Amino acid sequence: MADLLQLILSGTATGAIYALCALGFTLLWQASGTINFAQGEFVMIPAFVMLFFINTAGLPLWVAFLLTCLVAMLLIATLGLSIGVKQLVKAGVTAQAMPFESPFPDGLLALGAMKVSYADVGTLLLAGLIVVGLQLFLNRTVTGRAMQAVAQNTDAAKVLGINVQRMVLYTFLINAVLAVVAALLVTPTYLAKFDMGESIGLKAFYAAIIGGFNQTRGALLGGVLVGVLENLMGAYVSPAYKEGVALMLFLIVIIFRPEGLLGKTEERKV
C-alpha cells in the first residue's frame, strides 16, 4: 500500500509539471484561439537560459530563476518561438544533456511507511502554489476576469471596451512564467537538452486535451492523471509502456468524450 501511495505521490509531482505546461496550452487557446505547438520549446529555452545565468554568470539559482522569468517574458511574449529554436540550441549551444541543479535538497522524507523525495514534495508544493495563485488572479482580480471574458467571448469583451490585445499579452506573459517554473522543476530530472521540450510539450498537449482544452482545471486534472498513470504503468506493467500512457489516454478520451473530462462542448456560429 505504501508503495502504491508513493508511486501516486511521485506521479502527481511529475503530473504537476505537465499540468503547468498544459495550463499554458489552455490559457493561450482560450485567450487567443491559438494552439502553441512550440510549448515544449517554451520549457527547454528557459532551462538553458537558467543554466547560462548559473554556470556562466555564477548567479544563485533563485536569481537565475527570476532573471529567466524576465527573459522568457520578453522572448515568448514579444517574439514567439518556433520549432526551429530546437535546432538553433543544438547547433549554437550544445547537443549534450547538461546537468541542472535541483531547487530542492536531496534525500527522502518519511511519511509513515511512505518515503517521498524532497524533490517530489517541493515540486508539488511549488506547482500547487503557482496553480492556486493563478486561479486567485483569474477569479479575484478585474484583470483576471477580463482575461476570462476575452477567452469566453472576444467580441462581447471588445464591445465593453476591454483591451483585448493587452489581455492576450498578459496570457503570453503568464505562459512564459509557467514555462520557466516547469523548466525549473523538470530539468533536474530530465537534464537540459535541446530536445527535452518534445516529450514534455507533447504530454502537456495530450494532458490539456484529456482534461478539456477549454478549462484550466481540465489542464490540471489531465496533467496529474498522465503523471500518476505513467508511474503506475512503469511500476506495475512495464517501463516500456510508460511513454505511451498519455497517448493511450488521449485516444480513449478523444473517442468517448472528445470535449475532455472537464471540458465543455462549444458551439460556434459559422
Partner 1 sequence: MTAEKIIEFDKVVAGYSPSLTILNELSLDARKAEITLLIGPNGAGKSTVLKTLFGMLVPRLGEVRFEGKRVNGKSQRELLADGIAFVPQGRNLFGSLSVRHNLELGGITLPRGELSGRIEEVLARFPRIRERIDNQASTMSGGEQKQLEVGRALLLHPRVLLIDEPSIGLSPKLVQEVMTLLRQLADGGTTVLMVEQNVRTALKYANRALVLEMGRLALDRPASELLNDPDLNRLFLGGHVQKNVA
Q: Please report, as ranges, the residues that interact with partner 1 according to CB under 8 A.
A: 142, 145-146, 148-149, 152-153, 155-163
Q: What's the closest the beta carbon of residue 211 comes to partner 1, in angstroms? A: 16
Q: Which is nearer to partner 1, 106 or 155 (CB)?
A: 155
Centroid of chain to Cα 236 = 26
Q: What's the closest the beta carbon of residue 261 comes to partner 1, in angstroms? A: 17
CA distance 45 to 86: 9
Q: What's the closest the beta carbon of residue 142 comes to partner 1, in angstroms? A: 7
Q: Which is nearer to partner 1, 58 or 140 (CB)?
A: 140
CA distance 227 to 207: 9
For 116, the enclosing helix (H) or strand (E) is strand 114-117
Q: What's the closest the beta carbon of residue 48 comes to partner 1, in angstroms? A: 38
Specify whether the CB–CB gap between 32 and 151 falls below 8 A: no
Question: Helix H segments across 104-163?
Answer: 118-140, 142-152, 154-159
CA atoms within a 13 Å half-sphere pointing along the CA-CB vector of 208: 24
Q: Which is nearer to partner 1, 48 or 170 (CB)?
A: 170
Q: Which is nearer to partner 1, 106 or 266 (CB)?
A: 266
Q: What's the closest the beta carbon of residue 156 comes to partner 1, in angstroms? A: 4
Q: Which is nearer to partner 1, 146 or 226 (CB)?
A: 146
Cell 486535451: give the residue.
209
- Whose CA is closest to 90, among 102, 79, 98, 99? 98
How many residues make up the chain in this entry?
Answer: 270
